[in-house]
Amino acid sequence: MSRRQPLKSRPAMATQHDLFGAEATAGTDAAPLSPAASRPETSLPTTSPKLPDNRLRESLALQFDRVPASWRAVTDAFRATQAGQALVRAVDERRAAGAVVYPDDVFRALRLTPLDAVRVVILGQDPYHGPGQAEGLAFSVPAGVPLPPSLRNIFKERDRDLRGAPATDEAAPAPRGRAARPEGSLRAWARQGVLLLNTSLTVEDGQAGSHAGLGWEALTDALIAAVAQRAEPAVFLLWGAHAQRKRELIQSSGAGHWILESNHPSPLSATRGPVPFIGCGHFSVANAFGRAHGWTIDWSAGSAEAEPEDVHRRDGPSA
């Protein structure tokens, strides 16, 4: 059974100076990760001609320029620091050196989910590092791309929780009228207020965790804190040890939120103790919390459609 933690009010609020101070250059958390949290996930053949081209094809500075207004106070404050400038240089230098960096839309999670619309936060660790996979949303892959193992388990638990489907090795059959094979893009969740945020927002091809420690963690901690500081309560789904390290940040920044924790959905831990992901019931619990505050999430929604806001991208398909 998942651990549920309603938060108590705390008078101290984290400031941008606190979030982007000396610790901003300290890099990623040095504590060892569980095998489930650190296991690379890629199930795609590198030569497939059908995969979308999701390489980052422009300066990271240009991506920062397009962050939506609701998040700009946070991203601009970070970008103005030495750590923020160093991050932009580091990513651009890797691209200039010939590294393939994913995804092409680094801040898609912020574009699809405005700060004032956040209802649920799901934290991932690292973008997928296989060709065509990462699309700027935690755990999500573009429509038509084969499902990575953790995403398969996320759908499995969703179906078990909301449809009463057995927890088999495959996702439950879709309701009549939907495609038989589930699409892996979670854009429909993001549009409903589910912030799908990785703690590092870029990665290099075939190298899991390659951009951890470049400075992303300081920015994404500030984004998490910005959600927690709002008066509107949200649900934070912390799956695995890496995400659960953000518990104190959430608790110290705000009140009234709900934290749900379980093991990571990776096959290495999804059915193991102490809190198995399969059986956690987080989707229905989040909606029960939401109904008390005037909202619910349609977790079954597919998302194969194109994004209208991607029309500004002239240099290839969006992923």
Catalytic residues: 126
39 CB burial (10 A radius; 0-12, 13-18, 19+): middle
HSE of 48, CA atoms in CB hemisphere, 13 A: 15
Taking CA atoms, 192 is separated from 120, 137, 181, 296, in Å, by 9, 14, 22, 9
At 164, list the tokens: 């009463």
Question: CB of 113 within 8 A of CB of 234?
Answer: no
Give how far Cα 156 sits from Cα of 13, 125, 186, 218, 279, Å: 38, 20, 14, 32, 10
* CA geometry: angle 25, 259, 167, nearest 5 deg: 110
Question: Is residue 313 within a helix (H) or strand (E), and if so which, with residue range?
Answer: none
Q: How far apart are CA 270 and CA 273, in angstroms?
A: 9
